[in-house]
Amino acid sequence: MSTQSPIRVGLLGIGTVGSGAYTVLTRNQAEIMRRAGRGIAITHVADLNVERARQLVGADVSVSADAFALVRNPDIDVVIELIGGYGVARELVLEAIAHSKHVVTANKALLATHGNEIFRAAADKGVMVAFEAAVAGGIPIIKALREGLTANRIEWIAGIINGTTNFILSEMRDKGLPFSQVLAEAQRLGYAEADPTFDIEGVDAAHKATILAAIAFGIPVQFDRCHVEGITALQSEDIRYAEQLGYRIKLLGIARRRALANGTDGLELRVHPTLIPSRRLIASVEGAMNAVWVKGDAVGHTMYYGKGAGSEPTASAVIADLIDVTRTFSADPGHRVPALAFQPESLSDIRILPMSEVESAYYLRMRVADEPGVLADVTRILADLKISIDAALQREAGEGESQTDFILLTHLAVEGRVDEAIGRIEALPTVLSKVVRLRMEELS
């Protein structure tokens, strides 16, 4: 065993994940030392709740409310940032890097919005920024993409990467309840925050999808170009109709390379509710669990499943990063695994496609008058725009009803044409509602 002194770690924030990281590191210290080849000790903690922090870590760890003093402390080798957000967190991470400290973070919002700046600063200083815990909690998807799949040209990634929304959608399907009622239950059980906006509007998943796309395709982080739709407008009847047609609806983060007509590649980067065939393994991921499905040209399909949040699952990823950092202390910075998997000077300028150019299959539901000729009018519009129909479902009108639901599934089509078709369909006098449009993915 190494006789070197332990790596000294400063922890910013000792909330749910921070306390989990401290607990896991303390409990598994002997095993971690065997893996890292050197001891690792959290010696300093910065948290606004100083008394609570002292109760958690005891008298042997220095505790302060001054986070900037911690990141500037010459007695600290590695900073773990777990305070969240992208205001003061950005300042602290950049300050730690400026003081030549390696950084471990679980902060997906920070990396999705300021990752390019942070990685550039770290490269200039010859330090690491490790972030396995930023995406899918305890699932080692970052390491899989950065290291395990480096021989592959990644074709696409599709991930259930927000546990809150997956729990809500699972409950809506299983119990037939409306979104608002299930959200309240999710908040009561602790799956959803008091302010769940980032989760239910798809922003959290978009942060994670942005990071995955950067690593998988070797592009700069570009959160502002990610298309984001949440689940707030999703209706129980669409979940029910999807089931009848052999699909389940999941909030997916999708990053997909597409060959364009001009011979170049484009990249789809989007988060939205998606119909997936029920036979696909990822469609069976229920509750608050996460899963990421990756297709590479050599390996084919691989899927990564597990807990995407929680104290110790996320701490598992934080400590794994800490071990990786410890192993590289004596390594030449030029031979470390690059933060975004590709060499910084080799990042691609592949264009992220606007949604009008995205290609997908579609679920279209409309409320129509129960009279002859409606189907013919709708299908004629789709045919004029070269959108072919895969399946149709019409609910029988009840006794005395003059309206009914009409559902169409299309084959692959360019979204711009689908938008145009929807506009024409909604103008028909026999179509009595806005058209509900959901995207569909075969994931084959």
Confidence label for 1 from pLDDT (cuts 50, 70 and 90): very low
- Are 353 and 268 contacting, i.e. CB atoms less than 8 angstroms apart? yes
101, 108, 208, 250: which is the annotated catalytic residue? 208
pLDDT digits 0-9 by tens, 69-119? 999 999 999 999 999 998 999 999 999 999 999 999 999 999 999 999 999
| Phi, psi values for residue 151, rounded to 5° | -80, -10
331: confidence class by pLDDT, cuts 50, 70, 90: low
Average pLDDT over residues 185-201: 92
Contact 84, 67 (CB under 8 A): no
Range list for CATH 3.30.360.10 in the chain = 148-307
> Is the pLDDT assigned to residue 339 strictly greater than 80?
no
Q: Where are the beta strands (DSSP E) in 398-444?
A: 403-410, 413-414, 436-440
Digit-coded pLDDT (tens) for 133-183: 999 999 999 999 999 999 999 999 999 999 999 999 999 999 999 999 999
- Section 30-35 average pLDDT: 90
Asked whether the whole model's pTM tops 0.75, one would answer: yes
CATH superfamily of 356-440: ACT domain (3.30.70.260)
Asked if residues 444 and 280 have their Cβ atoms less than 8 Å apart, the reply is no
Provide the CATH topology of domain 148-307.
Dihydrodipicolinate Reductase; domain 2 (3.30.360)
Distance of CA 293 to the CA centre of its chain: 12
Q: What are phi and psi for residue 150, nearest 5 degrees?
A: -70, -15
Separation between Cα atoms, residue 332 and residue 303, nearest integer Å:
33
Task: With H, G, I as helix, E, B as strand and everything else as coil, classify residue 321.
Answer: helix
Phi, psi of 221 (to 5 degrees): -70, 130
Whole-number Å distance between alpha carbons of 95 and 122: 11
How confident is the model over 181-196, as a mean pLDDT?
Answer: 91
- Rounded-to-integer distance, Cα 325 and Cα 336, Å: 10
Backbone φ and ψ of 183, nearest 5° = -60, -45
> How far is residue 375's CA from residue 404's CA, in Å, rounded to a whole number?
12
**Torsion 29-31-32-38 (CA) sign:** positive
Q: Spell out the residues 6+ positions from residue 427 whose beta carbon is closer than 8 angstroms to its own.
A: none
Q: CATH 3.30.70.260 region(s) of the chain?
A: 356-440
What pLDDT, in 10s, does the model give residues 361-380? 999 999 999 888 888 999 99
**Which residue matches tokens 């170009």?**
225
Q: Which residues lie closer than 8 Å to 175 by C-beta, 6 or more apart?
A: 182
SS3 402: coil
pLDDT of residue 256: 97
Taking CA 26 as the corner, what is the angle to CA 20 and CA 28, rounded to the nearest 5 degrees?
95
Domain 7-138+312-346: CATH superfamily is NAD(P)-binding Rossmann-like Domain (3.40.50.720)
What percentage of the chain reaches a pLDDT higher than 70?
A: 96
Residues of each domain in the chain carrying CATH 3.40.50.720? 7-138+312-346
pLDDT digits (tens, 9 = 90+) for 221-236: 999 999 999 999 999 9
User: Among 57-66, 153-162, 205-214, 321-330, which is the least confidently predicted range?
Assistant: 321-330
Q: Which pLDDT value is given to residue 295?
A: 98
What is the Cα–Cα distance from 193 to 202, expressed in whole angstroms? Answer: 14
DSSP 3-state of 119: helix
Residues 395-444 have pLDDT tens digits of 777 677 788 999 999 999 999 999 999 999 999 999 999 999 999 999 98
Annotated catalytic residue 208: yes
CB 300 within 8 A of CB 156: no
User: Which residues are registered as beta bridge partners of 249?
Assistant: 275
Reported confidence tier of residue 14, pLDDT bands at 50, 70, 90: very high
Compute CA 88 distance to the chain's CA centroid, rounded to the nearest angstrom. 23
The dihedral through the CA atoms of 384, 386, 392, 398 has a sign that is: negative
Report d(CA 358, CA 388) in Å as an integer: 16
Give how far Cα 305 sits from Cα of 43, 162, 246, 313, Å: 33, 12, 23, 12
Q: Is 91 helix (H, G, I), strand (E, B) or coil?
A: helix
Assigned token pair, 188: 């009561």
